[in-house]
Amino acid sequence: MKKLSVIVILSIFVLVAASGVFAKDLRVVGSWSSLTMFKNFEKPFWTEKLPSVMPDVKAEVTSLGQVKLKGPAVLRQMNMGVFDVVHTVADYVVADSPILAGLDMPALAPQIDQARKVVDAYRPVVAKALADDFNAKLLAIAPYPAQVIFCRDEISGLDDLKGKKIRASGWTTSEFVTALGATGVTMSFSEVPQSLQRGVVDCAITGSLSGYSAGWGEVANYVYPLPVGGWDYVITSMNMKTWDSFSPADQNTLQQAITNDLEAPAWNVTAKETQDGIACLTGNAACDHGKPNSLTLVPISENDLSRARKVLVENVLPAWAEKVGPDVVKEWNDTAGREANVKAQ
């Protein structure tokens, strides 16, 4: 009888395992907890939406600020199995995976509709890079608001950035400001307000609403809305072993939920949040996110638009091409470059 009971228990174990109904506990690292991407999309998805469609999956959610891992370290940790899912800014990890820099070149796609086409075209390249470099499955790519320039002292356009120290939002943005005669400074997002206030940097680049939410508008005095930093895409990826532990049906359910309930809504609000950020930073229109600041809005000139594109083609893309090699450059030209009508040499 005892032997029969053991056989029955083992049979049930095998049947349950085959059905894939064991509960999964996912360790999720979200992006910056002070920003709307985390508050409105990432955390609600893992704690509310996913359990409604996959009741056996539970997530413990933290954020980049809480884990305190800089650059590519958070994806390296995921590769080692410390985390199951990571949301992080693509620009943060290009030191380990320079192919990812091709996703978000400065001034490549100033309009959100064009930016979406560029991302969709380059997505397979990003997916392969994440798999090769971090053993990770790409789940989503979503933008922060357009990456604009905050400055403490008066500027009237790109010419006035010469000689200034500028916190760049990524490696390609640093190349861009260097070509303008400025000095690109690498600095954590959370360190910027104090650094602007103390004069460690003269200007800094981030999303308009992101900067407002993080208090940049309290220490800067001018904002220039030319998206020289692109869109600072947040990539969502999962440890490949974790992904493979799901059945094909559950993989499909998970991917569809992320696409429909996290990625798509984030894209849909980005254009509005870009304008919301400008309104809240300047006080020129109603601010729905809190008390408005009073930064001076610097108008964008046609000359600066042309110059930004020229710097991209003549300085940023050639520097990136040297890092990735001709095969990747050809992939980029056939995907992202074709959508943006730009060719890397």
The superfamily in CATH containing domain 147-230+283-340 is Bacterial extracellular solute-binding protein, family 7 (3.40.190.170)
Share of the chain above pLDDT 70, in %: 93
pLDDT in tens, 228-241: 878 989 999 999 99
pLDDT for residue 2 is more than 70: no
What's the alpha-carbon Rg for the chain, to the nearest Å?
22
pLDDT in tens, 72-128: 999 999 999 999 999 999 988 998 999 999 998 998 998 899 999 999 999 999 999
pLDDT for residue 286 is more than 90: yes
pLDDT in tens, 183-223: 999 888 889 999 999 999 999 999 899 999 999 999 999 99
The reply to whether 22-144+232-274 and 147-230+283-340 are identical in fold is yes
pLDDT in tens, 99-111: 999 998 998 998 8
Tell me the domain boundaries of the chain: 22-144+232-274, 147-230+283-340
Q: Please state which of the four CATH numbers 3.90.1300.10, 3.30.428.10, 3.40.190.170, 3.60.20.30 is assigned to the domain occupying 22-144+232-274.
A: 3.40.190.170
In this predicted structure, what is the pLDDT of residue 205?
A: 94
pLDDT for residue 16 is more than 80: no
User: If you average pLDDT over residues 143-166, what whole number do you get?
Assistant: 95
pLDDT for residue 260 is more than 50: yes
CA distance 17 to 11: 10
Burial 63-89 (b: 16+ CB within 10 A, else e): bbeebebebbebbebbbeeebbbbbbb
Predicted model pTM = 0.85
In this predicted structure, what is the pLDDT of residue 17?
A: 41
